[in-house]
Structure 1
């Protein structure tokens, strides 16, 4: 399933929760979805917290610009 499909499903779930359950249900579904995303991301990558959202070692892929050496 692509990220667009996943985003569509999350949007539909939040829309139904907001429409039928009100704002509290909307927040509950959003919170549970966030916890599920974090758990799934951890299970996929198995990384520790600093590396959880990607590589942040202080280096950038492209530090050079036009006319600047890399």
Structure 2
């Protein structure tokens, strides 16, 4: 069975909801932040995110590319 973005989204939502129910709001926030950081690192490793452009965006530099 192939993985699809919809199934991945459902799995992520289920993990987040179960975390909230089982451990409370702050555990949910921690899991959500950890998942976002993991996604960011994954994009960098795959080469789908330009780190220098990201740093420039945080510094307030604009780029049209």
Using structure 1 for the length normalisation, give the TM-score: 0.66
Larger radius of gyration: 1
Give structure 1 regions of 4+ aligned residues with deviation exceeding 6 angstroms.
none
RMSD: 1.7
Instruction: Pick the structure with more helix per residue.
Output: 2
Structure 2: unaligned runs, 5 residues or longer: 55-63
Structure 1 runs not aligned, ≥5 long: 58-70
TM-score, with structure 2 as normaliser = 0.70
Aligned partners of 1:46 and 1:32: how far apart in 2? 19
| Count of equivalent residues | 53
